[in-house]
């Protein structure tokens, strides 16, 4: 399923989960901006959250509620247009009030509601609009997953949603996930916002381990601009209503499920890069031959976040010297540059630390003209390998972010 072909019928309902997306006018009129997700009793819920020290009020409260409830969460409430970040005690009070609205109308404890917000930082949340929208969302609960994916969008141009059915020894398990994000993307623990659901039965501790593992190899391997959001969150919910239990003891089923979950979340992460603000290029930066994984990531992010590299990508300019310079400043100790090889797609640009004798500008230009570009670096130091996905940096990115609050 390609990113541009996602349709409502491609998304599978998850037994034990209902979703709704409504217009509440939080920032813009006639726009879906309030999403409610109902989770069946007995489900388990895991979450990972931003490590930004200025984490938003809903992030702080969601962490608290998740700990208080022991994972026995019944509702997720997401608003767009306002991040409720940098808002101090009032922001915490506002997030708590929003949880209270859901609890009051749905007959649950406020601690069983997780709040999430995304949008402009530093403005107070229009609580009255959320309060008015909650009853509408409750009455609209159903299986409209694509609408929910649209309802969490901010500067996104397209919804991000994925589904897969996993065969587990004759029984099937469904995994469906949605995500949002296009700018302020360098997740550190999670992504901008992502919510993934399965009808498998998974205990709380294992669910948390699974989430941390798959996020580390997906959402924590993308960057648009190197900015980690104040509101990053990723939630994984297991309702257990398929009757299939996922445990480490059943190795074959566990590995099949884990692979499917990893693949789905990785594609959601890539969808964010495909829809990066103002982007025209989807770029894979593959670093091989590292002494250990962390140094591979240092090099990958040095390339992926270099304004000079990213603007060259935007202009389809095969300026390989910018890639070389980014590698050199990545901070890899005792780096022997005379052993480094760089490929652009299938074309060898740099061999043994200098321009490859076989390279021609026409070859480089042909690779840079592509919408999907692969940059491969071999450090020749060991066997470690890491991949990061990124985008180019265009004039449209500047325009979008220069007018973000208008």
Q: What φ, ψ does residue 293 adopt, rounded to 5°?
A: -60, -35
* Active-site pick, 50, 191, 341, 376: 191
CA angle, residues 121, 123, 124, in degrees to nearest 5? 130
How deeply is 46 buried, as exposed, middle or buried, from its count of CB atoms within 10 A (0-12, 13-18, 19+)?
buried
What's CA 63's distance to the chain center, in Å?
18
Residue with tokens 């920032």: 27
Alpha-carbon distance of 192 to 49, in angstroms, equals 9
Q: Kindly give the pairing relationship between strand 193-198 and strand 233-238.
A: parallel
What DSSP string describes 41-89?
Answer: TT-EEEEEE---TT--HHHHHHHHHHHHHTT---EEEEEEEE---S-HH
Is 191 known to be catalytic?
yes
Alpha-carbon distance of 146 to 160, in angstroms, equals 8
Q: Which residues contact 43 (CB under 8 A, 6 or more apart)?
A: 16, 72, 73, 237, 238, 239, 240
Are residues 33 and 125 in contact, defined by beta-carbon separation less than 8 angstroms?
A: no
The residues that are catalytic are 191
């Amino acid at each position: 399923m390609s990113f541009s072909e996602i349709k409502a019928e491609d998304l599978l309902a998850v037994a034990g989960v209902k979703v709704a997306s409504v217009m509440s006018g939080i920032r813009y009129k006639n726009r879906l901006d309030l999403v409610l997700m109902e989770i069946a009793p007995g489900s388990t819920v895991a979450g990972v959250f931003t490590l930004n020290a200025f984490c938003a009020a809903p992030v702080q409260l969601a962490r608290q509620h998740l700990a208080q409830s022991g994972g026995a969460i019944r509702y997720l409430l997401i608003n767009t247009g306002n991040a409720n970040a940098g808002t101090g005690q009032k922001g915490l009070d506002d997030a708590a009030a929003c949880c209270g609205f859901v609890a009051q109308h749905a007959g649950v404890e406020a601690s069983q509601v997780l709040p999430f917000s995304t949008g402009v930082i530093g403005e107070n949340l229009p609580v009255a609009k959320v309060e008015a929208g909650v009853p509408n969302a409750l009455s609209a609960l159903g299986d409209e997953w694509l609408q929910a994916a649209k309802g969490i969008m901010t500067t996104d141009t397209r919804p991000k949603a994925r589904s897969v059915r996993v065969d587990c020894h004759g029984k099937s398990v469904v995994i469906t996930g949605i995500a949002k994000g296009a700018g302020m993307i360098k997740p550190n623990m999670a992504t901008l916002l992502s919510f993934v659901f399965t009808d498998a039965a998974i205990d709380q501790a294992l669910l948390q381990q699974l989430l941390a593992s798959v996020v580390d190899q997906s959402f924590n391997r993308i960057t648009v601009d190197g900015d980690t959001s104040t509101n990053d969150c990723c939630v994984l919910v297991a309702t257990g209503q398929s009757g299939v239990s996922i445990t480490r003891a059943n190795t074959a089923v566990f590995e099949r499920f884990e692979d499917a979950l990893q693949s789905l979340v990785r594609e959601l992460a890539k969808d964010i890069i495909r829809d990066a603000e103002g982007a025209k290029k989807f770029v894979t930066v593959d670093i091989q031959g590292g002494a250990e994984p962390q140094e591979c990531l240092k090099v990958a992010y040095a390339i992926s976040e270099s304004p000079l590299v990213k603007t060259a990508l935007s202009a389809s300019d095969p300026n390989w010297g910018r890639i070389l310079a980014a590698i050199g400043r990545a901070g890899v100790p005792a780096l022997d540059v005379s052993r480094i090889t760089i490929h652009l797609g299938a074309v060898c640009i740099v061999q043994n630390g200098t321009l490859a004798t076989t390279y021609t500008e026409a070859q480089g230009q042909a690779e840079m003209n592509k919408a999907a570009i692969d940059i491969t670096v071999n450090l020749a130091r060991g066997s470690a390998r890491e991949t990061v996905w990124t985008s180019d940096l265009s004039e449209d990115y500047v325009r979008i972010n220069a007018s973000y609050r208008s």
